[in-house]
Amino acid sequence: MNRLEVIRFLESFFAGLSNTERTDIAPFQNLILSLKKNPQLSIPLLRELAAGGNTNGILKRRIERRYTRLCRMQEELGRLDFQKARPGISPEDFIFSRIDFSRYREMNEKEFENLFPEGLTDFSDAFLKKNFGLERTEIQSLIEGSYKKTAEAYRIQKESPLLLSIMRTLETSLETLPLLTAEEIQMELRNLLAFLKKGIRAPADTLTEIPGMELLYPCLVLSLDSVLISHADGMTTKLFISDEGDLSGTFRPGNKPWTLVLIPANPDLSGCLK
């Protein structure tokens, strides 16, 4: 199809999404897969979702980081022996006392780059400000200015309790943003329409927004139901839509099941989830 034909297809497809009984987004996914990669067309999430969600893309890396955090938590819990706690110490204080912050003084390249800088995007600005009193850019500058890469590892050059706390949070906190947001999908759809707009004659207002575009997001969330994510250690994470409408994932760190809500149910975007 030429660009104008693609726009006409999208108009028809999005109009059909207004029917809440329709959940088949295969035609849209096939269209995305048919589009050749072009540096002017930035739709990485749409491409990954069209391919089934288990490619080495943004979503897969986000899931991998959640799995890594659960593995670290499972590992630490497995080492706890509350019989060694001093009398009168609370469980929370005992757990904190057993944290090995020294691991952040020197980290191998893979571990460090799994946490930073992309791992910082897993957390909201409000979360970062509340916990560290710093803006996102300030935290990024602090980490970049404190570590030096050598041939084999990243080593701390300027250690501080704040820096160690930040790195600990990046590695273990589960208070993350949703796996995928409606805003991200809307942005990529606008990128797609802006790309299609080039080189054809059509009213500009028909190429920035198409009625029904906002209904694609819940359908894409639903498409992740039953997706299996394979990890390097042989474990598999299963995504599923819960009875409440959440997209959840059952992870198996240490072969022990943990279930996390990855995208909370949103009543305003529930059309394709019925």
What is the sign of the dihedral through the CA atoms of 135, 142, 177 and 179?
A: positive
Name residues whose C-beta falls within 8 Å of residue 224's C-beta, 6 or more positions apart in sequence: 49, 53, 239, 247
DSSP assignment of 113-159 equals HHHSSGGGGGS-HHHHHHHHS--HHHHHHHHHHHEEE-SSEEEESS-
The model carries a pTM of 0.87
Asked if residue 114 is part of any domain, the answer here is: yes
Asked if residue 46 is part of any domain, the answer here is: no
Asked if residue 212 is part of any domain, the answer here is: no
Q: Report pLDDT for 266.
A: 73
Q: Report pLDDT for 270.
A: 47
Residues of the chain with pLDDT under 70: 19-23, 54, 80-85, 88, 90-97, 199-208, 267-274
Asked if residue 191 is part of any domain, the answer here is: no
Q: Which domain, by its residues, includes 132?
A: 77-172
Q: Tell me: the pLDDT tens digits for 105-152?
A: 999 998 899 889 999 999 999 999 999 999 999 999 999 999 999 988
Asked if residue 155 is part of any domain, the answer here is: yes
Asked if residue 268 is part of any domain, the answer here is: no
Q: Report pLDDT for 274.
A: 40
For the chain, strand residue ranges (E) read 106-108, 147-149, 153-156, 228-230, 236-241, 247-251, 258-263
Asked if residue 68 is part of any domain, the answer here is: no
* Structural domain count, the chain: 1
Rounded-to-integer distance, Cα 10 and Cα 213, Å:
9
Q: Report pLDDT for 64.
A: 95
Asked if residue 201 is part of any domain, the answer here is: no
